[in-house]
Amino acid sequence: MCCFTGVVESVSATRIFARAAEEGRQFLVYSMHYKAKDELAMVLPLPTPKKSADDAVKFINLEKYDDFFSDMEKGFPQPRAAAAVPKGEAPLSKPHLAVIDVGSFEASFVPTVADFARLDKRFRLPEGTWEKLPGYKQYGFAVFKLKPEKTNVHPMAFSFPRTIPREIFFPTVHIHDGEVHDTAEFDHVLYVQMSEGSRPPRGWRESSIPAGMYMDLKRAQGLLEGESHVYKQVLRGKLKNADTLVGTA
C-alpha cells in the first residue's frame, strides 16, 4: 500500500521488485511516476515484527542505478509487433526518528503507528488516518519525502524484517484520498526472484535469462541474485484493491 501525506495529482507506471533476503528479511525496490504541486511524503506500510528497532529497515541508495527497472525489462523481450511500455504523540523520553538521505530522497522508518509522533511533521499523515485502516495497525512504515513537480525519480530501495518469512510482500493497496476502496485503478508491474527450491509463482512470466546477464549487479548493491531468473506480473485496470503476496514454500 502507498499513502501520500498531501495532494498528489497523478500516480502511474508503478514498478516493484521484491525478493527474500537473509535472516528472514526482504528486499523491496519501488518506482513510480507522480505529479504533485507541493512537497509531500509517500508512506509504505510494511509487515514488520512487533517491537522492531528504529533501524530495522535498511535503506539502499539507487541514485546511480536510476535505470534499474529499464534494465529489468530486458529480461522479458517482446516480439516487435507486440512491444509495449508498461504504464505503468509519543513519550518525550523517546528521541525523534532518524531522517536519512537516500539519493534524491529523505527517508525514515516508523516502527509503529504510535511512533509517527516522533517523526518530522513534514512526513506525518493527518491524525486519525490509521484508525480508518485497522488492518495496518501492527505494521511498520517506510516513509519517503517527495519533491514537488517531479514526475520520475530513481527507485526507492530497502530491506526489512518480515513477519511471515514464507511470503514475499508487495505493497499494492491504493490509498490516495484517505480511504481504502474495494477496487482501484492499477498501473503496476511486479517483479520477483524466488529463493532456491521455491516454486515459481503461478501465472507470472519468467525472464528468458538469469538476472546477472542483463542487470548491473554492482550498481544493484546486492538486491539481485545474479544466477536466478526474474518473474513478472502485470496488474493493469480496475482490480481488487489489495496488497500482493507471493508464497515461497
pLDDT digits (tens, 9 = 90+) for 170-227: 999 887 666 677 888 899 999 999 998 889 999 999 999 999 999 999 999 999 999 9
pTM of the model: 0.87
Residue 19 belongs to a domain with what CATH number? 2.60.250
What's the grid cell of residue 142? 517506510
Residue 201, domain member (yes or no) = yes
Evaluate whether residue 85 is within a structural domain: no
Cα separations (Å) of 104 from 101, 150, 155, 157, 192? 8, 11, 10, 12, 25
Show the domain range for 63: 2-77+90-247
pLDDT in tens, 94-106: 677 888 888 878 8
pLDDT, greater one: 241 or 223 = 223
* pLDDT score for 149: 62
Q: How far is CA 85 from CA 129, 163, 222, in A?
A: 35, 34, 27
Tell the burial category of 171 from Cβ atoms under 10 Å away from its Cβ (0-12, 13-18, 19+).
Answer: buried
Q: Is residue 237 a part of any domain in this protein?
A: yes
Q: What are phi and psi of 125, to 5 degrees?
A: -85, 160
Q: Count of domains in the chain? A: 1
The CA–CA distances, whole Å, from 9 to 148, 149, 179, 185, 186 equal 11, 10, 16, 14, 15
Q: How confident is the model at residue 231 (pLDDT cuts 50, 70, 90)?
A: very high
Cell 485496470 found at: 237
Measuring CA to CA, how many Å separate 238 from each of 115, 199, 223?
A: 34, 28, 31
In a domain, 83, yes or no: no
The answer to the question of residue 102 being in a domain is yes
pLDDT tens track for 1-10: 678 877 777 8
Does 202 fall in a domain? yes
